[in-house]
Amino acid sequence: MAANPRTFADVQRTILSAHKESTVEDKMSFYDSWSDLYEQLQRLGFCNFHGVDGSEGMLELAQSKSMYQTLQKCTLGSESLPASSDSYDAVVIVGALSEGQVPYTVLPELHRATKPGGFVCMTTRTNTSNQLYKKQLQAVIEEMEQKGLWERVKVQEVEHWEKATSVHETKQDSKYISGIIYIYRKSRSQD
């Protein structure tokens, strides 16, 4: 296997280019260029996949896996999720709910697309620069729970979520930032 010529500093600059102060077009350009390097999806017993992404490059990569029944371009938060209501057993959004990426206001759309009794799995970073976003995300999650729209299945914090891209994001003895996983089950009946 050939050695990867990219250094951590290269990856760090690339990731930082897609966060906070960049335009939607800059973010899509980032994901287009990153798509060739994105980790391969894994099958865990699910066999009917539909994918949505705002990046043409990520959609092309997903298409090359030959595991998706449909792939659609959609910039979550700017556009409605291209899915019928009550369609999916599980809706998963990983690595996108964070400051400068997909707004937390997308949660009702994720809920809408999930079948009653189905699951919504979400992740976000818990590093310093994402604390306000995480607080706002959790407020929406809790409000939806209080309204009886879904129930908490599991919330799990992960200490070594991803490698930090800046020194001020790391803890004393770690080069990683933390994250959190939320799994909620959509209520079977909606009053």
Question: What is the pTM (predicted TM-score) of this model?
Answer: 0.73
pLDDT of residue 52: 93
pLDDT at 102 over 70: yes
pLDDT of residue 118: 93
CB 53 within 8 A of CB 73: yes
pLDDT at 180 over 70: yes
pLDDT at 75 over 50: yes
In which residue are the tokens 């990856």 written? Answer: 11
- Domains of the chain as residue ranges with CATH: 8-40+48-75 (no CATH), 81-191 (3.40.50.150)
Rounded Cα distance, 139 and 184, in Å:
14
Q: Is 28 helix (H, G, I), strand (E, B) or coil?
A: helix
pLDDT of residue 68: 87
pLDDT of residue 15: 56
pLDDT of residue 177: 82
Q: What is the DSSP string of 80-96?
A: --SS-TT-EEEEEE-S-
pLDDT at 40 over 50: no
Amino acid at 151: E
